[in-house]
Amino acid sequence: MKEELYITFHSEDDIRHFVDTCNEFDDAIDIRIQKMAMDAKSLLGMLLMKTEEPLEIEYACYDDEDNYEEFKQAILEKYDVKVVQATEKQAADKIV
């Protein structure tokens, strides 16, 4: 079963620190709002994100070294992140 990560920022400092954390990883990390995705490594773009609203994190690995679990642990320790187990139907709905 796939899992989804949702982060809630409580301040611009949260966003700045999150961008710094994302830049420690080589993989692609985006924040999704409905159908729009924002590069989580871009401070300028991320500062446009809303605070106090859960935003979905999309993590994609394009090489042989997948650091998803390390990334997940790093953000769970520092930020307001919720891990949601996605059902197969929810995952299929996202593809459509």
pLDDT, mean of each 10-residue run, the chain (96 residues): 90 97 96 90 92 94 87 96 78 48
**Superfamily for the 3-87 domain:** HPr-like (3.30.1340.10)
Q: Compute the distance between CA of residue 48 and CA of residue 50 in angstroms, rounded to an integer.
A: 7
Cβ atoms of 55 and 88 closer than 8 Å: no
Q: What is the pLDDT of residue 16?
A: 97
Question: Beta strand pairing status for 36-39 and 55-60?
Answer: unpaired
